[in-house]
């Protein structure tokens, strides 16, 4: 995951006093398996409650497309996207969910949140 990706751009939240949620879904997300080099396909959803800024969609699209030729495990990918969006936006809360298509009969869903107030000792 060392290749640079386009920067995430932001704009002022038009309603910073209101706690509303924004959801962006990329239905054609792709990256590469770091072991085989085969393409991984996913539906990637970003949900957040903005504070002072919102993410600009073209920059988000270009940022996500930056992963197309990168070999990365699902878990690292979802957490890196969360970290980058958290750093760019400083939202009230944010969730990144990757729903990866089946390979070898197994599908995977990886969800990362900030703050992670939903986590319990049992992991549910």
116 classed as catalytic = no
Distance from C-alpha of 37 to C-alpha of 59, rounded to nearest angstrom: 26
Count of CB atoms within 10 A of residue 78's CB? 23
Instruction: Point out the catalytic residue in the list 40, 54, 83, 84.
Output: 40
Distance from C-alpha of 83 to C-alpha of 60, rounded to nearest angstrom: 14
Tell me the Ramachandran region of residue 70: left when phi exceeds 0, alpha when psi lies from -120 to 50, beta otherwise: beta
Widest CA span in the chain: 47
54 classed as catalytic = no
Residue positions annotated with a catalytic role: 33, 40
């Amino acid at each position: 995951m060392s290749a640079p990706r386009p920067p995430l751009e932001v704009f002022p939240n038009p309603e910073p006093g209101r706690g509303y949620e924004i959801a962006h879904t990329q239905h054609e997300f792709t990256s590469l398996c770091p072991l085989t080099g085969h393409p991984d396909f996913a539906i990637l959803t970003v949900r957040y409650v903005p504070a002072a800024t919102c993410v600009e969609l073209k920059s988000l699209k270009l940022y996500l497309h930056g992963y197309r030729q990168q070999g990365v495990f699902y878990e690292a990918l979802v957490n890196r996207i969360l970290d980058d969006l958290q750093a760019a936006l400083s939202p009230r809360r944010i969730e990144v969910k990757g729903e990866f298509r089946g390979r070898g009969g197994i599908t995977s869903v990886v969800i990362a949140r900030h703050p992670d107030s939903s986590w319990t000792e049992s992991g549910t």
